[in-house]
Amino acid sequence: MDEATTFITIPPERLAELKERDDFFKGRPPKGDCESCGARPATSWWSGESSFTEINHGAPVYKWCELCCIEAQLEHAKKAAGRVAELEEQRARFLARLQDAEDDGA
């Protein structure tokens, strides 16, 4: 062994976590039970609202079943849909300001 070789010891629980992340990045399906409900086998990787860049930098990914993924997506869609009226009003106010600015400049 040459002098540049270094060995590190990785605790078993950390090694298991790194192997799971490797499964995620290599597109392998998760193994084990759903980490959300624990009632069904995990079939999907769930990252919540983390972007892929955030995941690359250590944001967690979870092993979830399909039902838990669908329910979380549905909850997110309902929250987003609740903002539609507010955003339409905001757009209308912005367009009115643009029109006023154009009228003033004409």
Rounded to whole angstroms, how far apart are CA atoms 101 and 98? 5
Q: pLDDT tens for residues 6-51?
A: 667 777 777 777 788 788 888 888 999 999 999 999 999 998 888 8
In the predicted model, is pLDDT for residue 1 greater than 60?
no
Q: Kindly report each contact of residues 96-104 with a partner whose C-beta sits within 8 Å and lies 24 or more positions away, as own/partner.
A: none
Confirm if 34 and 64 have CB atoms less than 8 A apart.
yes
Confirm if 23 and 31 have CB atoms less than 8 A apart.
yes
DSSP secondary structure code for residue 64 in this structure: E
Alpha-carbon torsion, ordered 62, 67, 70, 76, to 10 deg = -70
**Owner of token pair 């799971």:** 20
Confidence of residue 98 (pLDDT cuts 50, 70, 90): very high
